Amino acid sequence: MKIAIAKPDFHASGGFGVVVERLAAGLRDRGHQVDLVQVDADASPVSDLGINVDPRHVSLFRDFFFHLNMIARFERLDVSGYDVVLCTQPASWAVQHPKKVVLFYHHTRTFYDLFEAIESVRGHDVALHHLAAFIVRDVDGFFLTPDTPILAGSRRVKQRLADHNGLGANVDVFSAGIDETFLDYQGPISFESPLCIGRHEFPKRTELFLHAMIHVADLEGRVLGSGSFTERLTALDGWLRLQHGGRQRGPTLSASAPALTRSGCHIDDDRLWRDVAIHYPLDRLRAAEAAAEESGIRPRVKFLGRMSKDELVHEYASALCVVCPAFDEDYGLTCLEAMALGKPVIACVDGGAYVELIEDGVDGFLVEATAPAIAAAIDRLKDQSLARAMGARGREKARAYTWPRAIDQVERALKARLL
């Protein structure tokens, strides 16, 4: 087959980029011609709409204009020279071709599964947010149709397609593979520090891990990854330490700020990730961080930034457990990588696809999205015999998630489209 893989080019590497690279390489190894056909996502979000838009409106609702603009650009993309097209991220499914399959991990989430969460933290007109979501969903409906085969990245993603688009019969669940580096690891395994890995963005909820580690005695947490929230997270960690260990010395929340603290230094974790992580002034968080340092309140986590694959494997191998606090995750590759290295995983009951991967009490824990609940699960895993037993069961589960199996599924779907 001559295959085009349609994808936005975000000029950044990520988990889905790895999935696309492995699928392309695997299909080429099987004799197919595969080209990555991309649309530059760094272009102006109104470049191809053919209308004049006030820059203030673009700034206010960039996600809305960006999505519609990408729809227009993919719709004009010439892929007529290919036998079949594999569409991927939003809005690549707008490609015009009679034979296409959609590898679907998520909608433009602002207007779908994160609609309510985004609305709760937005600083603008709620009515416009509702209108924008209505338009985006209506436009997507022209391309996500019952006659287009869709491979959904998890059962949770398949459910979203049913809920938002009324699709089901044409949707199969697709499971990406795990890199062989993780599956084949034979090096030393130890159970030392709780680990949290992921992009520092909304709604990955790294904030919950930072707060949980303040409740855990005698262990230092480790945070891997980076993103637009990294600076805020490091400062927020200092603020949390000050509130819990410094008897609330130094900067406190003003009356106009989100009501984060209550009597007895109870911190509302839901408001922590929805409000403070986004809206609380960074300079005040930094001041709290400095006050914590001056008070001698030591950090409970270490920020390690981005790492190479080999470094990442080492961190997994020495972790006590891996904490995945994200809200409504699409797939959860971090969870499977952790399991492949024999580590129990802690995720939240509202964690989306993580709930599919973890069997509570068997190979990990599913807990409420609060710092005390996460901390309690970490405390249970201080019993290393329990951690090892859970990790062993997780490792056995992870062995089923291979790349040959994943490539088989995609190849079958593409061939079936040509019949």
pLDDT tops 60 at residue 93: yes
pLDDT for 12 equals 76
Structure tokens at 336: 């499977």
pLDDT for 124 equals 62
* 180-398: in CATH 3.30.43.10: no
pLDDT tops 70 at residue 247: no
Angle made by CA atoms 267, 269, 271, in degrees to the nearest 5: 95
Structure tokens at 85: 């097209």
Asked if 213 contacts 241 with a C-beta cutoff of 8 angstroms, the reply is: no
Asked if 148 contacts 100 with a C-beta cutoff of 8 angstroms, the reply is: yes
pLDDT for 126 equals 82
Structure tokens at 280: 């609380």
Average pLDDT estimate for 40-59? 91
Which runs of E-coded beta strand occur in 99-183? 100-104, 150-152, 171-173
Q: Where are the domains of the chain?
A: 2-177+402-417, 180-398
Which residues, 6+ apart, have CB-to-CB distance to 54 below 8 Å? none
- pLDDT > 90: percent of the chain: 83
pLDDT for 11 equals 85
User: Which of 102, 85, 98 lies closest to 33 in space, CA to CA?
Assistant: 85
Is the bond leading into 344 cis (omega within 30 degrees of zero)?
no
pLDDT in tens, 60-79: 889 999 999 999 999 999 99
pLDDT in tens, 95-142: 999 999 999 999 999 999 988 887 766 666 788 889 999 999 999 999
SS in 3 state form for 189-235? Answer: CCCCEEEEECCCCCCCCHHHHHHHHHCCCCCCEEEECCCCCHHHHHH
pLDDT for 264 equals 44
pLDDT for 122 equals 60
From 96-105, 116-125, 318-327, 387-396, the region with the lowest mean pLDDT: 116-125
Domain spanning 2-177+402-417: CATH superfamily = Glycogen Phosphorylase B; (3.40.50.2000)
CA atoms within 13 Å, Cβ hemisphere of 117? 19
pLDDT in tens, 127-181: 888 999 999 999 999 999 999 999 999 999 999 999 999 999 999 999 999 999 9
Structure tokens at 136: 């985006």
Asked if 333 contacts 327 with a C-beta cutoff of 8 angstroms, the reply is: no
Asked if 226 contacts 196 with a C-beta cutoff of 8 angstroms, the reply is: no
Phi, psi of 134 (to 5 degrees): -60, -45
Asked if 148 contacts 102 with a C-beta cutoff of 8 angstroms, the reply is: yes
User: Which of 318, 365, 374 lies closest to 341 in space, CA to CA?
Assistant: 318
Average pLDDT estimate for 267-288? 90
Average pLDDT estimate for 374-396? 98
* Beta-strand pair 171-173/150-152: parallel
User: Which of 35, 99, 18, 114 lies closest to 418 in space, CA to CA?
Assistant: 99
Identical fold for domains 2-177+402-417 and 180-398, yes or no, is yes
Which residues, 6+ apart, have CB-to-CB distance to 400 below 8 Å? none
